[in-house]
Structure 1
Amino acid sequence: MNRLWRRELWRLAALVAIGLLVGWPFDAIGLGVAAALGLYLAYQLRRLHALQEWLTHHPHDEPPSASGLWGELFDRLYRYQKAQRITQRRLRDTLRRIQESSEAMRDSVVMLDRHGDMEWWNSAAERMLGLQPAHDRGQHITNLLRDPRFVDYFHARDYREPLTLPSPIDERMILQFQITLYGDDERLVMARDITRLHRLEEMRRDFVANVSHELRTPLTVLAGYLETYGDMAEQLPPRLARGLQQMQSQTTRMQNLVNDLLLLSRLENDQGGQDDARLDPASLLETVRRDAEALSGGHHRIEVEVTETRGLLGSEKELHSAVSNLAFNAVRYAGEDCHIVLRWRPCRDGACLDVEDDGEGIDPLHIPRLTERFYRVDKGRSTATGGTGLGLAIVKHVLLRHDARLEIDSRPGEGATFRCVFPAGRLVDDRPQVDCRRA
């Protein structure tokens, strides 16, 4: 390209020289130079017009024939246009394949722009969500999916967990929504039909609740008779007395399991906590501390720390159950002579209720599964510790009912911290208000 520029400059210099030579005999050097520059300018304008005609009317044809710098420019533009057409064709083919594959999906797919307006969706979205291409394109997603839970989920921008809702056109169809951010704050909304799984889950919950309820009566009868026989233990042979103690222990353990199953079933069937009583977390932690010390039998040092002055809205019975499960787990599994702290403190998202110990700790491999029913890190400790394997599942569901979440931080040999994070909307300021006029 530099060579062509030098050639063009030499051509311009030659024209100027010719103009000087032509104008010299007539004593009109300026006129000769002007005429030479005019010819050069006319040539450049002609080439520029050819370029404009080609790009405007025949962009897909071969470029106009030219030499020198203009020929190189035409060739480069033609190659660039050809490469762009190939790239555009590949992008169109890729977009068409994406749309075809999305059309083949059984899940709904809706593409939103950065403002939340719907740009494109597949046919499954029309069946599940009732979208109509003729009227709904360009509409904001919340104009069509008006469920307050979806609106809150959409604007919260926390899409780590999916949202389960009935279809807006058929309440019998249960959909699981998942939103993904991509590009320039654009969003992809996917909805999956989980009606069958939802029904199976309802059947499982009903089965567990019914079986647990049916087991409660015979267990109560059995426990009553065992207690009666226990009062007569002195009259029984030693071997029968030992067997009676074991039956009482296992019956008590089974009753605890049934009670936990019934509580968990109730929590699962009613996700929205209705009891919004004002609670004093400090008093709650002190009650749990006394219960944990009774369970510990003096083998642990248990303390309460309170640095948050605000109270909490919720169900005292449910929150007491959740915190008790965390504290009792620390007593059972942290190891003897450990220090356990029950802490109520402010944190970034609102307030945190921590149950922290400096015991054996937990391998991070197990943490994602700790809230599953009956999951145990050490399956050999179930009988020895007396736990039911449902404690953390109950904690999880209690916190869900209170708009909170459970965070677990632990390393082997470094203790464990179970953190209940409550949002600011669940906190109340119980401090006395000062009347400034009277002050």
Structure 2
Amino acid sequence: MNQNWHGTLIRHMLLLVTGCLLVGLISGYYGWSLAIGLGLYLGWTLKQLLRLHDWLRQHKPDEAPPDGYGLWGEVFDSIYHLQRRDQRVRGRLQAVIDRVQESTAALKDAVIMLDSDGNLEWWNRAAETLLGLKTPQDSGQPVTNLVRHPRFKEYFEQDNYEEALEIPSPTNDRVRIQLYLTRYGNNEHLMLVRDVTRIHQLEQMRKDFVANVSHELRTPLTVICGYLETLLDNVEEVNPRWSRALQQMQQQGSRMQTLLNDLLLLAKLEATDYPSDNHPVAVQSLLQTIKNDAQALSGERGQHITLEADPTVLLKGSEGELRSAFSNLVFNAVKYTQDKGTIRIRWWADQQGAHLSVQDSGIGIDSKHLPRLTERFYRVDSSRNSNTGGTGLGLAIVKHVLLRHRARLEISSVLGHGSTFTCHFAPPQVSRSEAIAVKD
């Protein structure tokens, strides 16, 4: 509308009043002339307002507003210009939307938009192939009703989406998919789904290869170690020059057996997602046994090992697997803590779940190594690892055990000032018993 519409309105009113007064001067009825003139103007204004109302209620998307005169002509012209500008903006937005839809439709990865409650709002063609979504009947449906894998429901309901989830496709069990979730806007969700069947098959081939080689090597290695032990038991009958060689061979053979046992344990842990023997474990008594073993391992080094555990907090899972993971953390603390050092073991629970902490005053780890500590055979210091007799698989075993028990490992360390390894277990894995907490 013209910015001088106030002046136009005033001029029209002055002309109307002047005309009415002239008619009143001629007829001699000033009041009636003014009233009739204003009434006619009001009627004309109401008619234009009704025309605008009817057009707003019944007009088609591209239909122009009605013609008008005077002030209402300017109103209709302004509406027309706004309408044309809005059409241009909508055209540009629609072009962008069409390009986005065309590009996402060409993707082999699925893209799904969910509202804050997890209901389906939009998805591309790949989502129909990988997840079996159907247009339009699935629109507005909760995604957990269509992807019914129990691990997906747990993954969707959690707050941390840093790691992707890998599950079988709902449409084909032989297809493996990887899901990524991220939040945006008003707590809405964007879900990306990839077909990782080939990667999964390669990973499975690697696991099978390691497991098969470990099994095949176990028998001949047992035979070799057995004969070495027999020879060492009768060392007085053996040429003295061979005594040191036999001892070193037995030491390395024992180390290879430990390595094979760790590889076989990892293969077993990777074979299934959940422990077969899932029942409440008394963690306090388990940690007490591990503490006693750690004290024996420490021997005469004078390390001070303490245990603070709440016996009322039980953990659902496999006692054997938890023993393996917890003992790895505690024994590592013993190995890498100097003589007279301190090691503190804590087990407690809060609203976020249950937690195991192993804190030591040892040599510490440089921060650049922390992200890779749980990788297989990763060594911060190869010479140090060799001296302590490690296989490089301990923390990898810990990681897999925790994953099977719906937990995560947090590592904090300062070089020269010790390390803290903390296991965080989700609330569903925790149960309670009636007992009194003790400190040792």
Q: Common fold, TM-score beyond 0.5?
A: yes
Q: 1:154 aligns with which of 148, 153, 156?
A: 156
- Greater mean alpha carbon deviation, residues 364-373 or residues 307-316: 307-316
Q: CA RMSD in A?
A: 3.1
Q: Deviations over 1:228-251 (max 9, x none)?
A: 333344566665333333222221
Q: 2:390 aligns with which of 387, 390, 399?
A: 387
Aligned to 1:201: 203
Aligned to 2:98: 96
Q: Deviations over 1:148-204 (max 9, x none)?
A: 333443344543333322223322222223333333443333332222222222221
Q: Deviations over 1:119-138 (max 9, x none)?
A: 43333233333333364444
Is the CA contact 2:282–2:311 (under 8 Å) kept in the aligned structure 1?
no
Distance 1:224 1:6 in 2: 111
Distance 2:31 2:337 in 1: 102
- Greater mean alpha carbon deviation, residues 183-192 or residues 267-276: 183-192
Q: SS of the counterpart of 1:418?
A: strand
Change (3 A) 1:202 1:364: same
Distance 1:145 1:249 in 2: 52
Q: SS of the counterpart of 1:165?
A: strand
Aligned to 2:260: 258
Determine if the alignment matches structure 1 residue 124 to structure 2 residue 126.
Answer: yes
Determine if the alignment matches structure 1 residue 192 to structure 2 residue 165.
Answer: no
Is the CA contact 2:114–2:120 (under 8 Å) kept in the aligned structure 1?
yes
Aligned to 2:39: 38
Aligned to 2:9: 8
- Greater mean alpha carbon deviation, residues 83-92 or residues 209-218: 83-92
Is the CA contact 1:12–1:40 (under 8 Å) kept in the aligned structure 2?
no
Q: SS of the counterpart of 1:170?
A: coil
Identity across the alignment (%)? 50
Distance 2:429 2:165 in 1: 21
- Greater mean alpha carbon deviation, residues 81-90 or residues 184-193: 184-193
Change (3 A) 1:67 1:221: same
- Greater mean alpha carbon deviation, residues 403-412 or residues 351-360: 403-412
Distance 2:261 2:61 in 1: 79
What amino acid is aligned across from residue 38 of structure 2 in structure 1?
Answer: L
Distance 1:362 1:6 in 2: 80
Is the CA contact 2:351–2:427 (under 8 Å) kept in the aligned structure 1?
no
Structure-to-structure mapping, 1:415-434, within 5 angstroms: 415-431=418-434
Aligned to 1:213: 215
Q: 1:345 aligns with which of 338, 345, 348?
A: 348
Distance 2:61 2:135 in 1: 34
Aligned to 1:437: none
Change (3 A) 1:31 1:146: same
Q: 1:180 aligns with which of 179, 182, 188?
A: 182
What amino acid is aligned across from residue 389 of structure 2 in structure 1?
Answer: G
Change (3 A) 1:328 1:75: farther
Structure-to-structure mapping, 1:364-383, within 5 angstroms: 364-383=367-386
Distance 1:28 1:238 in 2: 145
What amino acid is aligned across from residue 84 of structure 2 in structure 1?
Answer: K
Aligned to 2:414: 411
Q: 1:362 aligns with which of 347, 360, 365?
A: 365
Offset at residue 370 of structure 1 (A): 1.6
Change (3 A) 1:407 1:89: same
Is the CA contact 1:362–1:415 (under 8 Å) kept in the aligned structure 2?
yes
- Greater mean alpha carbon deviation, residues 156-165 or residues 326-335: 156-165
Structure 1 unaligned spans of 5+? 434-439
Is the CA contact 2:166–2:179 (under 8 Å) kept in the aligned structure 1?
yes
What amino acid is aligned across from residue 12 of structure 1 in structure 2?
Answer: M
After TM superposition, the score normalised by the length of structure 1 is 0.86
Offset at residue 61 of structure 1 (A): 6.4
Offset at residue 260 of structure 1 (A): 0.5
Is the CA contact 1:361–1:410 (under 8 Å) kept in the aligned structure 2?
yes
After TM superposition, the score normalised by the length of structure 2 is 0.86
What amino acid is aligned across from residue 315 of structure 2 in structure 1?
Answer: L
Offset at residue 259 of structure 1 (A): 0.7
Query: What number of residue pairs does the alignment pair up?
Result: 433
Is the CA contact 1:308–1:351 (under 8 Å) kept in the aligned structure 2?
no
Change (3 A) 1:326 1:17: same
Structure 2 unaligned spans of 5+? none
Distance 1:90 1:361 in 2: 58
Distance 1:132 1:313 in 2: 39
- Greater mean alpha carbon deviation, residues 408-417 or residues 315-324: 408-417
Is the CA contact 2:109–2:193 (under 8 Å) kept in the aligned structure 1?
yes
Aligned to 1:309: 312
Is the CA contact 1:111–1:118 (under 8 Å) kept in the aligned structure 2?
yes
Distance 1:338 1:13 in 2: 100
Distance 1:284 1:222 in 2: 35
- Greater mean alpha carbon deviation, residues 61-70 or residues 1-10: 61-70
Distance 1:385 1:406 in 2: 23
Is the CA contact 1:4–1:68 (under 8 Å) kept in the aligned structure 2?
no
